[in-house]
Amino acid sequence: MVIYNNSAMTFIDFLVIITGAANFFLGYLVLVRGVKDKVTYTLSGVGFIGGIWAILLFLYHFHIGLPSLLWIKIVYSLVFVMTFNSFYFSLIYPPRLRKSIFLPSFLYLVLAIPLFYTLFFTELWVKDIVYKSWGPETILGPIYIFVCVFWGFFGAWALYNFFRKYLKSAGINRERIKYILIGMFLFISTVATVDGIIPILSGNTKYFRVSPLSSLFVVGFTAYAILRYRLMNIRVVVGRTAIYLFSFVTVIAFGFLLIYLNNQLSVPVSFKVIGPLILVLCIIFFQLFFKIYGKLASRYFYYTFYSYQKVLTNLAKELTQILELDRLANLIVKTLVETMKLDRTVVLLREEKGDYTILKNIGFREENGISLVKDNFLTRYLAETKKPLVYEELSLIQRDAPEGEKQDLEKLKQNMKRIEADLCLPLFQKEKIIGIIVLGTKVSADAYSKEDLELLTTLSAQASISLQNASRYHQVQDLSQNLQEKVAEQTKELQEAYEELKKIDRAKSEFISMASHQLRTPLSSIKGYISMILEGDYGKIEKRAKEKLENVFYSNERLIRIVNDLLDISKIELGKMELKKSPCQIEDILDSCYQEMKPEIKKKNLRFIFKKPETPLAKIEVDELKIRQVILNLIDNAIRYTRQGKIELCLEKKPDSILIFIRDTGEGLTKEEQKEIFQGFTRGSAGIDFFIEGAGLGLYVAKKYLDLHNGKIWAESKGKGKGSVFYVELPI
Amino acid sequence: MKKILIIEDEKILGEMYQDKFSQAGFKVILTLEAEEGLVLAKKEKPDLIILDILLPRENGLFFLAQLRKDPEISSIPVVAFSNYDDSETKKQALKLRAKAYLIKTQFTPKQLLEEIKKYF
């Protein structure tokens, strides 16, 4: 086979081949990686057709296999397809903007058929081929101008469609269309110039074979739209491809430069010699260029491709602000789904006991999500390796794994495949695995790249910390909730116990009340009969017997007072004590007490003195009976503790009050007793002691009555054996 | 001779007051029950009634209420005389026009006699 006979292969031919390859590659990528739909097929069609076009033109140029005449006719046939494909693309992308595609397609077909006939069966289109030194020249017939108008019309229509869609759309779509529009415009206008205007005006068809180069505009701008505006979700692959392409182009330019320099020499070295040399150099330099572009691309596309830095910064910022487990999980999952373009992911969290629960799930079936951690192999494996586990690497891992693990790995592989999980990301907290994030396949079907894994690892470290914090916060919240419940419970118990006690207390008071009433009946009869005996109602009695009976009478009187006190206390404690206040002459009350107690005091051989101001006091509002009871109790108390000497009942007028005091020459009180004697029999041991002695009760009642009168009662004593003074102060 | 009706379920006490009042020259009629008291009051038309409050079956308040309903006997002065020292009961008794509500333990029979003389 002769590759070239009358013309040498030049750099341009080389470039055409490269362009063809690039077109193919784009077509292939779009087809394999894109969503399977019309748009994908059409766009990949642009690539494939562009590639075939370049190759056919190459074959035409060097009339390989077939004569150039036939090749050019095949090329033109392809242009029919290519034009329609581009036009069709303008109709369907972006979808839903155009109602009907049938009519325009039909129109195209109707017009194409006669032209197609003309191409193959007449000389009206392609007359002949003339081989020139630079290659084959196509002699075009008169109809060619119509062909150009036909294609030009549909090309312009396609551009018009894109332009209209560009105007109508907004946002990211608008940007995408803009780049496709620019690419298409450059492509169509170049082709129109090289293959239409120039041949028609000058008959020059020399540049036919370079027209596929212009399809690089479509490829380039589409690739840009893909990269920058995520046109097809194949950014990473396209990004890589772009780097390859740039490297290629640079290497080719470099090769071209060498060829050019060689041609400048007075005696150029034969291409046959320098060709392989340049090729070797190109291969060597290709590596260098690839690295340089890779660096540039990663610097520039960091934002557009991955924007990992931004993802991580934003995530870190937000993570620190969230303490609720649910919101945290939502944020992590959202970030993962948006960054990685996933349709499924699940966050599994390890409980205290080692079981896993689903914290957040998108896309996976619940039982599938949890099935991964059912056998402990995965968690154990992740805990050991501390690295993300990628499904695609499992086969390799399996190959190198020890025999024992192979089966487990196989099971894991099958399970991951079954549930369409692509990656397992362990979450660690100080060497301990606290959870796993399972990621599904990317929407683009791209593999997880090295950059992805780096991002995911960093992200998982951040997520771990936040999840741990949130989980602790949760625990603390639970704890405080528990604590609150406990406190409430115990408060309730205490409340109940208190209510119970109150009931018991009430029962006690009621019991005392009832018992006292019943005690009063025999007391009444003792009092009555003894008084009548003493009065001689039942006959004369001996003087000695009379004395003893008087003692019985006074003892009975004391008993009556004690019962009265008990009744009063129970009344006070039941809240039934009511004061019946009326204006009273306080001297009269004291005088009646004095008269009542005089006989008893006299019998004990004590002196009893009543001192009152010379001028009468004004009346004050008191409950006479209660005040009387207070004074009687105090005098009774004084009698009990005084063996000799005197008891004084005194009344004094103070600026805002009336002061009554009972001074005795009795046993006196210690400092402690002075404080405690009013505290009553229910409170503490001192009270009980007093109760047993039969005193204290009256003092307690006295204190209660004074409280009800807003008065005061207190005792003073210079100590044991030195007598005491009991004070009662009533406000005026 | 003035007639006093004593309604007192505690026999010993009743007899005690009977002794004292008889000696003082009163005619004393004694009963242990409120219903019988009403019958006796109608029959004997006493000049004063001394009425215990806590009684078997119907109590003293019942007696007072019934008494006040019967025009024949409704104007007989009544002195409530009980050891039941409850302010509510006291209020009711006074509302039913008892002349006084006295506590038994506060009075010797002699003192009671002095006291009731006010109410004839």
Say if residue A695's pLDDT is above 60.
no
> What pLDDT score does A678 carry?
79
Which pLDDT tens digit goes with each residue over A468-501? Answer: 888 788 888 888 888 999 999 999 999 999 998 8
Calculate what percentage of chain B has a pLDDT beyond 90. 80
A550 contacts in chain B (CB < 8 Å): none
Calculate what percentage of chain B has a pLDDT beyond 70. 100
User: Is the minimum CB–CB distance between B32 and chain A shorter than 8 Å?
Assistant: no
Say if residue A176's pLDDT is above 80.
no
Helices A171-191 and A144-168: angle between axes, nearest 10 degrees: 170
Mean confidence (pLDDT) of chain A: 82
Which pLDDT tens digit goes with each residue over A515-538? Answer: 777 889 999 999 999 999 999 988
| Among candidate residues A364, A330, A328, A329, the one with its CA nearest the CA of residue A345 | A364
Calculate what percentage of chain A has a pLDDT beyond 90. 14
Between CA A692 and CA A124 the distance in angstroms is 143
Residue A110: CA atoms inside 13 Å, Cβ hemisphere, count?
A: 6
Say if residue A2's pLDDT is above 60.
no
| Among candidate residues A135, A280, A116, the one with its CA nearest the CA of residue A204 | A135
Say if residue A679's pLDDT is above 90.
no
Say if residue A219's pLDDT is above 90.
no
In chain A, what are the helix, strand and coil shares in percent, each to the nearest 5?
65, 10, 20
pLDDT band of residue B56 (cuts 50, 70, 90) is confident
pLDDT band of residue A687 (cuts 50, 70, 90) is very low
Say if residue B45's pLDDT is above 90.
yes
DSSP string, A326-346: HHHHHHHHHHHHHHHTBS-EE
CB A523 within 8 A of CB B105: yes
Q: Under 8 Å CB-to-CB from A260, ≥6 apart: which residues?
A: none
User: Is the minimum CB–CB distance between B105 and chain A shorter than 8 Å?
Assistant: yes
Using CB atoms, pick whichever of A537, A564, A576 lies closest to residue B23.
A537
Q: Is A298 exposed, middle or buried (0-12, 13-18, 19+ CB in 10 A)?
A: middle
**Interface contact flag, B105 A537, Cβ < 8 Å:** no
Which pLDDT tens digit goes with each residue over A306-336? Answer: 556 677 777 777 877 777 888 888 888 888 8
Which pLDDT tens digit goes with each residue over A263-279? Answer: 888 887 777 777 788 88
B103 contacts in chain A (CB < 8 Å): 520
CB A410 within 8 A of CB A377: no
pTM: 0.43
**Interface contact flag, A560 B17, Cβ < 8 Å:** no
| Among candidate residues A436, A380, A370, the one with its CA nearest the CA of residue A404 | A380
A-to-B residue pairs, Cβ atoms closer than 8 angstroms: 51
Query: What type of residue sits at position A70?
Result: L
> What pLDDT score does A455 carry?
83
Q: Lowest-confidence range among A93-107, A133-147, A327-341?
A: A93-107
Distance between B53 CA and the closest CA of chain A, angstroms:
12
> What pLDDT score does A299 carry?
56
Which pLDDT tens digit goes with each residue over A413-452? Answer: 888 888 888 888 888 887 788 888 888 877 666 667 767 7
B110 contacts in chain A (CB < 8 Å): 531-532, 535
Note the maximum CA span of chain A.
178
**Interface contact flag, B110 A525, Cβ < 8 Å:** no
Say if residue A682's pLDDT is above 70.
no
> What pLDDT score does A1 carry?
35
Between CA A402 and CA A289 the distance in angstroms is 42
